[in-house]
A and B are shown apart, each in its own frame.
Chain A
Amino acid sequence: MRKKWTWIVPLTLLILMLPLLIESSYFMHITILAMIYIILATSLNLLSGYTGLLSLGHHAFYGIGAYTAALSVMRLGLPFLLALLLSGILPMILSYLVGKITFRLRSSFFAISTIAFAEITRLVSINWVELTEGPMGLPNIPAASIGPLVLNSYNKQYYLVLILAVSSIFLSYRIVNSHIGRVFKGIKDAEYVAISTGVNIDRYLMIAIMAGAFMAGIAGGFYGQYMKFISPDVFYFQMTVNMVVMVIAGGLGTIGGPVVGAIIFTLAPEVLRFSEGYSFILYGIALILIILFLPGGLWSLLKKVKNLFKNSVYPNNSEIEGSDNLK
């Protein structure tokens, strides 16, 4: 047990001191984007990673969250924290309706119907000009203020998004390590058997999608005030593609996977910038290689490396089959 904690202290310190270490505002911006994606990938992972229902409309919750927070601050003059809360709650309510309709579908049929839902929200955001200003977008969203504290610097924004990201990782950890998580795995593993045990499948899928929508909405709420501008682009399909890539490449159905995936795939386009038009090709090749050779995602690679290290230090401590599950 003690060994497990040794790496957590330096890691926590590193994360807390990151703004001091990074001087360039450009890198701070990338770091904050990575944090937003950590929340998004973690939220998608609850439904798609753990229960196995691939949602391709998850960005809709993010977009609705972004508009909800921005509009309730700008039009209704609500304090930021309340607006942020609303930006989680409204998508959560909508996700309930989406779930009611789509949970009778599975696999690609479910995926397609969630795309349809997201497209509807995108079209509404473009055409409901009275509310959203349409394609013009909402400029001049005021920066978040909590009491007298105005988050007007990258560093302050970083700490807010850090709190949000850590909370969503924690929330999702608590969910999947409870009896709810066991049902999620059961549904993914053998839905037929899960039904036979008398589990109300829809109820558990609903928990997954609603918790996911809540987190994604909060991420959107944060994004709006951080960028100070939102437009119907937040409903762009690429958002979900990014999230799905992060979850799959990071490791479906693990807590660490989406986090690793989000960090790497936010950094990758920036690192690959020198390659100009080829960056998407490299991105694609990387993804194919990961799927082919690391079906468990990058997280499983980290684990393998860790085990390798362990075995070389204690040559007699060979890994027992299936003992992964006991930890």
Chain B
Amino acid sequence: MMLEMDKVCAAYGPSQVLHEVSLKIHDQEIVTIIGSNGAGKSTILKTICGWLGTTSGQIQFAGERIDNNETKDIVRKGISISPEGRRVFPKLTVLENLEMGAYVCTKREFEEEVERVYQIFPKLKERTKQLASSLSGGEQQMLAIGRAVMSKPKLLLLDEPSLGLAPVMIDTVLEAIKIIKESGVTICLVEQNAQLALEIADRGYVLETGKIVLEGMGRELLRNEKVKNAYLGL
């Protein structure tokens, strides 16, 4: 078991956002969490990586409790996040952005990791000395994912990687996600674009107003009437 959330509740101030969310992520699978705006998808990721404290319940990573730990410790344990909205450091170059992601590795590991990221995203290699702000939206998303991979995570959290990207770019990003998975990284993918997410995911959870209402294999959920109506627009 890579990650297990057990009846996790979380709140922003007085308003409770997550209601007893329980989910499991096994080794080397892609798990997706789908749901509409404001369902609490990103909040789940925030509680996992320590940005938001939980009010009850527990989160275990590789058998160790990590809820309410600090982000910097959680990253060291092997969880990495690519936050929503292609977050990069606009005034740093592509290479510097990747260096920022490599805080937990040695210099030698760093060089190997950079090569690996450039293999996954050859576009970035061409632009290695360019400022991140000069990249296109898709390239920035690649960079954000690349940076998250730099810390050699066991579990990679991706928050809406398809957001605002051209369809061609979405395909490239999805291909990259598959490659990263094959290199042995477990992936938790949060998406509004349910169709895309369920197609590449092994398993999926459907979140509604902070509660898990449905779970199943990716393909099963794609065929599920309720999911079709609510999220796929079929």
Min distance, Cβ A176 to any Cβ of chain B, angstroms: 13
Contact A195 B71 (CB under 8 A): yes
Q: Which residue of B lies closest to A190 (CB)?
A: B89
Q: Which residues on A sit within 8 Å (CB–CB) of B148?
A: 196-197
Q: Which residues on A sit within 8 Å (CB–CB) of B100?
A: 182-183, 186, 193-194, 197, 199
Interface residues of A in 176-216 (CB under 8 A from B): 179, 182-183, 185-186, 189-190, 192-200
Min distance, Cβ B136 to any Cβ of chain A, angstroms: 14
What's the Cα separation between A182 and B131 when bound, in Å? 13
Query: Chain B: how many interface residues by the 8 Å CB criterion?
Result: 31
Interface assignment of A325: CB less than 8 Å from any CB of chain B: yes
Q: Which residues on B sit within 8 Å (CB–CB) of A199?
A: 72, 100, 103
Where chain B touches its partner, the secondary structure class is mixed
Interface assignment of B215: CB less than 8 Å from any CB of chain A: no
Interface assignment of B162: CB less than 8 Å from any CB of chain A: no
What's the Cα separation between A195 and B46 when bound, in Å? 12
Contact A182 B99 (CB under 8 A): yes
Contact A322 B134 (CB under 8 A): yes
Encode B43-59 as 1/0 by CB contact (under 8 A) with A: 00000010100000000
Encode A250-262 as 1/0 by CB contact (under 8 A) with B: 0000000000000
Where chain A touches its partner, the secondary structure class is helix
Chain B CB within 10 Å, residue with most, of A179, A190, A193, A321? A193
What's the Cα separation between A196 and B153 when bound, in Å? 12
What's the Cα separation between A2 and B76 when bound, in Å? 44
Contact A325 B87 (CB under 8 A): no
Point out the residue from A179, A183, A196, A200 that lies within 8 Å of B87, measured CB to CB.
A196
Min distance, Cβ A106 to any Cβ of chain B, angstroms: 16
Contact A182 B96 (CB under 8 A): yes
Contact A185 B92 (CB under 8 A): yes
The answer to whether A197 and B87 touch (CB under 8 A), given A185-B92, A189-B92, A325-B129, is no
Encode B104-123 as 1/0 by CB contact (under 8 A) with A: 10000000000000000000
Contact A190 B90 (CB under 8 A): yes
Contact A200 B72 (CB under 8 A): yes
Interface assignment of B211: CB less than 8 Å from any CB of chain A: no
Contact A198 B99 (CB under 8 A): no
Interface assignment of A326: CB less than 8 Å from any CB of chain B: yes
Chain A CB within 10 Å, residue with most, of B71, B99, B134? B71
Contact A182 B87 (CB under 8 A): no
Q: Which residue of A lies closest to B96 (CB)?
A: A182
Q: Which residues on B sit within 8 Å (CB–CB) of A197?
A: 75, 100-101, 103, 147-148, 151
Contact A198 B90 (CB under 8 A): no
Q: Which residue of B lies closest to A193 (CB)?
A: B87
Q: Which residues on A sit within 8 Å (CB–CB) of B51?
A: 195
What's the Cα separation between A322 and B130 when bound, in Å? 7
What's the Cα separation between A197 and B101 when bound, in Å? 5
What's the Cα separation between A199 and B99 when bound, in Å? 11
Interface assignment of B83: CB less than 8 Å from any CB of chain A: yes
What's the Cα separation between A183 and B80 when bound, in Å? 18
Contact A198 B72 (CB under 8 A): yes
Min distance, Cβ B93 to any Cβ of chain A, angstroms: 6
Q: Which residues on B sit within 8 Å (CB–CB) of A200?
A: 72
Interface residues of B in 60-111 (CB under 8 A from A): 71-72, 74-76, 80-83, 87-93, 96, 99-101, 103-104
The 4 lowest CB-CB distance pairs between A and B, nearest first, are: A198-B75, A193-B87, A189-B89, A200-B72
Known: A196-B87, A198-B104, A322-B130. 17 other contacts (CB 8 A): A179-B99, A182-B92, A182-B99, A185-B92, A189-B90, A190-B90, A192-B83, A194-B89, A195-B51, A195-B72, A196-B49, A196-B82, A198-B72, A198-B75, A198-B151, A325-B93, A325-B129
B positions within 8 Å CB-CB of A? 49, 51, 71-72, 74-76, 80-83, 87-93, 96, 99-101, 103-104, 129-131, 134, 147-148, 151
Query: What are 10 A-B contacts defined by CB distance under 8 Å?
Result: A179-B99, A182-B100, A190-B89, A192-B87, A196-B81, A197-B75, A198-B74, A198-B75, A321-B134, A325-B93
